[in-house]
Structures are given as C-alpha cells and as structure tokens.
Amino acid sequence: MEDKLFGYMQWPEIEAIIYSEHDRPKQILGSHKVEDGVLVQAYFPGAVSCEVLVKDREPMMMKAVDSEYFAQILPDADIPDYMYQVTYGDGHVVKCRDAYAFPATIPEEDIKKFQAGIHYEIYKVLGAHPMRIRGIKGVRFAVWAPDAMRVSVVGDFNQWDGRRHPMQRREGGIHELFIPGLKEGELYKYEIKLKGDTVVLKSDPYGTLMQKRPDNASVIYNIYRKHQWQDEVWMKQRKKDRTKEKPEFIYELHLAGFMRPDAVIETDDEGHETVVQEAGFYNYRELAHKVADYVKDMGYTHVELMPVMEHPLDESWGYQVTGYYAPTSRYGTPEDFMYFVDYLHQKDIGVILDWVPAHFPRDLNGLARFDGAPLYEHPDPRRGEHPHWGTLIFNYGRKEVSNFLIANAMYWVEQYHVDGLRMDAVASMLYLDYGRQDGEWLPNMYGGREHLEAIEFLKHLNSMMKKRNPEVQMIAEESTAWPMVTGDVEDDGLGFDLKWNMGW
C-alpha cells in the first residue's frame, strides 16, 4: 500500500503547499477518490504525527511523506465523514475537521455580478460569515485579491501561521475557504503572499467588526438576526414622507466629541497629578440615551454622525476609514450601534451618516496596495493619490471597486436602518485637477478635467438607492458650482436629494 500511496504523490504540488505558494490547495489537500480508495492528504506545520478518525473504526495513522505533510489511502469506495487527530512536537494533541473536505459555496452568479459591479449585497458573500455546511458549523471566508500569489486566513486559531489555511482561488480573483469549528469573536486577518515572496497582513475589507485601535485585526461577527428592531412605526412613516418636503433640523456631531467619560487623575501629597486612566468612550447604547435627550430638548429632527466606520486615528474624526463595513469598536459592537439607531428612531429622531467614498488612508493593514498592486486605488498617482491629504483615491472605473462602495452605502441603509448618507468631499471626486497643479493631473478621454468614472459612480449609486430605498436621503457635500447636483440622473444630473453647501 505504501508504494501505491507514493505513486499518487504529486511532488511539485506538495512542494507548493509546503512553501506556501499554492493558491488552489483543494486540488491536492483534503480527500479525493482514487482507484485504490480515498486518498487523504494534509499539511500540519509543527506536527509529528497525524491519524484519520472515522466513526466506528480504529484510527488510521497517516504516512509522513515529507516532514509535516501527511497522506493515506482509506479503504472506502466513497469519501467518509472523517476527522484528524494531530500530535504536535510539544506533545499536545488536537482533533479537527479537514477544512479542505468542504466544497466551495459561493455561486458563480454572485461572482459574475460582482465582476459586473451590480451585486448590491456583495457584503453577504465576501468577508467572514458563520454558517453550516453539511451540518457542520464554521466560518466561510472570502476576499478579493486577484494579484496575490496566495492568500491565507490567519488568527489565534492557527497561530497566525499562513501555511495552515491557504485559501482556494476562484474566478475573478476571489479567494474562499470554509474553516470548520470557528466561532464568533475569533480574531483574523488575511495573510497575502505577493509576487516577489513578500508577505503582508491585511484586515478584512468586508469585516463587520475590528479590534479597538491601535490593534486592527478583524473579528468574526455575525450582524444578522442580532438585534430585534423596534422602529416599525418610524420606518413605515419614513416611507410615507418620500416627498422630503417636511422641515428638518439636523444636528451634526462626533460621538466622542459630544460626550465621553473623564480621565481618572490622582494627585499625590505634593500636588503632582498622574493620569491613572485616559478618557474613555461611552457605549453606543449609553450614547443613544444621552444624544436623544439633548436632541429632543433642542428641537432637532435628525442627527448627522461624523463617520462611525472604523478608523485608526481619533484626530481624523473618522474621515480616514479603514473598515468601511465595521462600526468603530470605540463605542461597542455592531449590535450596540443598531440599538443606537433603533432607540433614536423610537424617539422620532432620524439618523444620517457622514460617508467617505472619496479617499482612504495608506495604513498598511487597510486597502492600500491590498494584494501587492493598486487594487482599490487608481494605479496612476495622478488619479490615485491626493497630494494635499496624503490619501489614496478609489479607482471608480473598476467595477469591483465601484461595487464595494455602492454595496457599502446599501449596507448602512438596509442593515442599520440609517435614514440618509451625507457624502463627504464630493467636489474632490468630480474634478481630476482638484488640489493639483498643472502637470499633476491626468485629463479625461476628451481632454477635460471632469472625472467621468466618478460621475458615473455617483449616478449609479444614487439611481440604485432611489430604486431600492427611495425614502433615504442622499446628500452631497459639494463646495463648487457643479451643475445639477440634485438633478435627476435621467436629466444628466448627479441624482442627490440635497446639497450640503459649505459656502451658504
């Protein structure tokens, strides 16, 4: 049997697994029917032995065909339900299911819609999603990284070792892997091996929760069915008020700037003060009551929150976003933020979010050069960089990038019940020469300074928002005299409902 086993070994493929370069590991790892039964192959760095466990059967030792790479032929006509029992060099023993025994679950139709830029719920596909496959609980991970040599899921659950869970490349540069046994609350990142063998760690662009700064790992968190919404009256009334002729009195605030607990300071006998605890943050639930009381007392109808999306720098007020799908963990969990919106709605207060699709920061864990090449940003620095802000500009002409942003707008409206989005820095999106000197910008195909791809993105977003959520307000912070900002898309307008006029 050992001769037959070695006859099935594909040594170049095994070497690619061991050197962590394989982007289609399911071709070799896991279980596969062969002429002599079922061939099982596994790679466990640090292991000294591995057994296959099948119910009502004695454990079967796997052959170490190359150090920590194991293989065995099971005497079965069909693939059985099996687990591994792995013994590591330090003596501890782990039982686990085979991540490579599970099929890919993302339908090709979802991938095609994403490639076309029209998957308005792509956040339900990409990212980390707890689910059951074949009755087994686990988490499916999926990320878009077309230029990566290899992508792995890493976290505490695998010692942050990118060799342990390489992902399977799918069409369009999507990488997917279901890891059985994982639960909510686990930290994770994507380890991306770039061309040239450089390895980087990236937070999940579609992650729904991130660690509190300065840490920046993504956290497995299922936002669905978490919160029992109680704002039915508000939501029904909102649909009736589609004319937007009802007066609004909007209070813009930064949650930490509105109110936060004081720092704890101790004074010694000589009068010297020591900060024992820095000023903290109130939870979204606490803030809901404090904000609602103030807003009602002052007579406001709406609050407009400076960005609540995850961001690393307090001083940015949230305008340099690293987690577009994650409410900042400074104030709690996504469920806590749902409570915030729900409570304000129950108090007849609308919630508008400042939203930043104009640019993003260069933080190494974020979107910048995500898979080793410009992916979310435009590759030409004359279009892909803001010289004054030091940030990067989205490549609006790339369908998957446009889809990332449009789906993000839908996400906050449809999953968090927000009543409007105030889009930051629209003027910087409309003009190719915004903030640039002669020779620092690249004209459009007609030789003009209008950013045609960004204009198309805005029209696409606003038209789809009106189709899916016509009662939601789309507001542009546009500081120039661009015509038809609130004009209908059908009349060549941008399709916004309101213009937030800085020079009023």
List 424, 433, 471, 491, catalytic entry = 424
Q: Is omega for the bond preceding 379 within 30 degrees of 0, making it cis?
A: no
- What phi and psi values does residue 444 have, to the nearest 5 degrees? -75, 180
- CA Rg, the chain, in Å? 26
Contact 139, 179 (CB under 8 A): yes
424 is catalytic: yes
List 477, 478, 488, 491, catalytic entry = 477
H or E stretch at 165: none
DSSP track, 433-448: TTT--TTSS---TTS-
Q: Cα(235)–Cα(345) distance, rounded to whole angstroms?
A: 8
Q: Which amino acid is at 186?
A: E
Question: What is the CB-side half-sphere exposure of residue 79 using CA atoms within 13 A?
Answer: 14
DSSP track, 87-115: EETTS-EEEE--GGGSPP-S-HHHHHHHH
Q: Which ranges of 347-440 does DSSP label H, i.e. alpha helix? A: 381-384, 399-416, 426-430
Question: How many residues comprise the chain?
Answer: 504
Q: Which residues contact 58 (CB under 8 A, 6 or more apart)?
A: none
The tokens for 404 are 């990332």
262 is catalytic: no
Q: Which residues contact 114 (CB under 8 A, 6 or more apart)?
A: 122, 125, 126, 144, 172, 174, 399, 400, 403
Contact 179, 186 (CB under 8 A): no
| Chain-centre distance for alpha carbon 146 | 16
Q: 3-state SS of the chain: helix, strand, coil percent to 5? A: 25, 30, 45
367 exposure class (CB count in 10 Å sphere: 0-12, 13-18, 19+): buried
Q: Which residues contact 287 (CB under 8 A, 6 or more apart)?
A: 255, 258, 259, 331, 340
User: Which residues are part of the catalytic machinery?
Assistant: 424, 477
